[in-house]
Amino acid sequence: MAYKIPQHQLVKLPAWRRRVLLVSVLLGFGALLARGIYLQSVHKAFLQQKGDARYSRTLVLQAHRGKITDRNGELLAVSSPVESVWVSPPDLKLTSENKKALAKLLQMKVKDIEKKTADTEREFVYLKRRISPALAGKVMSLEIPGVFLQREYKRFYPAGDVAAHIVGFTGIDDNGQEGLELARNDYLSGKAGSRRVIKDRQGRIVEDLEAVKVPQDGQDLVLSIDRRIQYLAFRELSKAVEQYKAKAGAAVVLDAKTGEVLAMTNIPTYNPNNPVNIQGKTRNRCITDIYEPGSTMKPMSVSAAMQFGGYKPDTKVDTGGGTLTLGPATIHDAHPHGLISVAQVIQYSSNVGASKMALSLKREELWSTFNQLGFGAQTQIGFPGEVAGRLRPYKTWRPIEQATMSYGHGISVTLLQMARAYTVFANEGELKPVSLLKLKEAPVGHQVFSTQVANDMKDMLELVVQPGGTAIKAQVPGYRVAGKTGTAHKLGPGGYEEDKYVGSFVGMAPASNPRLIMAVMIDEPTTGEYYGGTIAAPVFSSVMGDALRMLAVPQDAANDNVVIPPGAAEDVKEAM
């Protein structure tokens, strides 16, 4: 029998209290309903964002950067897979022992790890970039929650410092920083892909949220460079810079028929695999630095006189006592030669002879020749930092300036411009464009000189490397050589500096049918020897001889063609 509560023990609530309680409950339910509606509609995006931040990840799928090879397929730059360690601070569970073990493996300090992982609002923090897969495996074997790996690529440069100034290098994010890595970055890098997934608290992928966006790998870049010739030029230039204790040196080797750059090297250089302490060493001086070319400019001005002024190789030019006075200035020859032929003006490197021939021309004729040869304009080779050089408008020229420009003073050029200009003598007067990329066929240039003028000048340039010329040390066993030396004072803040020089040589071989053109420049030698025929011509000889034989270019002279005249130890001086 059920127990019945006595009537007097029942507590009767007042009607108003029942109503208040009912209203409170209804209001509570209403508030919860409103909050639910608010969270499910108005504040939906925020909640989804927070949820995604916890479990959803967009994984970047790195594109493979294209290779850079030389013309023969030899690697100059290649990417290898590496791993980067990253953490999600909100999910990270680090014990004191784990911190120490992780710091030891990554060669970091414990306090650095603590600092990087302190901000729990961040969802992605790199701990260490680009470590080896083996080391990455050891890190993951610690099984620390919140520690993950991301696949990346590290760039390697098999040619090292030999080709550093051409190839350049990439930064930590695999973007080009110097050289062709920078200039052709978009072409090489491709486009990264992505994959959006849900991960659990252990970092394991639970579900794919979207279709994978496949990465587009970068394209390979095939350069015109021949790694073998590049090494030869680097080796010999390094020896010369060291021997003459020079500030710097540069060298360019061109294919005479196509204008392709087969070698381009600079000293000092750097290691692109470990680009530290490289300030001042990354400039590709062949393209980014200008200098006054000195007497290597004489073939251009003398050819202009032959083209426009009717001069022939045997035309006589009176150089008098080796001086020419124009107003307050006097031009000097190293030795007085009197009445000499145009061919001897080139052979003896006569400033007076070149000046008189240049002054016989209209200013615009000489300027037009220099302009058509590419001076004062970029070569459009597509290299970052290329400069145009300096060629002033002819309307401002005074007679002394017209004269000095004929032998390479008062005009500034790059070494690449100088090498390119000599393609006119290798191609019957046609100037070839230059290229750092391998070409499928020889490009069409433009005609600057007539065939007769170009061939006559090429023959005269052969005299420069023979007895009586200024470049006896440029001779190559088995091959005829044509070329020209240059020696010039450097231009400083207060004018030409008496004790600072640039010695250079530009030449081609075999002279009967030029296959290669090489330009060499030695900047500020300090041993007391500075003539181009002394310090630059031997570099040309060593590189050219080995390169021609390497390319199996047929000889056009006997093996004993090198003539060393009596007293060859004393080089023929040239005027500056």
Residues classed as catalytic = 295
8 Å CB contact between 83 and 152 = yes
Cα–Cα distance, 350 to 340 (Å, whole number)? 10
Residue with tokens 């849900």: 198
**Rg, the chain, Cα only:** 37
8 Å CB contact between 293 and 408 = yes
Cα–Cα distance, 444 to 431 (Å, whole number)? 9
3-state secondary structure 90-156: HHCCCCHHHHHHHHHHHCCCHHHHHHHCCCCCCCCEEEEEEECHHHHHHHHCCCCCCEEEEEEEEEE
Task: Name, in order, each residue with C-beta under 8 angstroms of 352's C-beta and a sequence gap of 6 or more.
Answer: 319, 320, 322, 323, 324, 331, 332, 333
Cα–Cα distance, 427 to 415 (Å, whole number)? 19
Torsion sign (Cα): 12, 17, 23, 25: negative
Pairing, β 495-509 against β 482-492: antiparallel
Q: How far apart are the first and last CA of the chain?
A: 134
Cα–Cα distance, 450 to 304 (Å, whole number)? 10
Cα–Cα distance, 375 to 258 (Å, whole number)? 19
Cα–Cα distance, 110 to 119 (Å, whole number)? 16
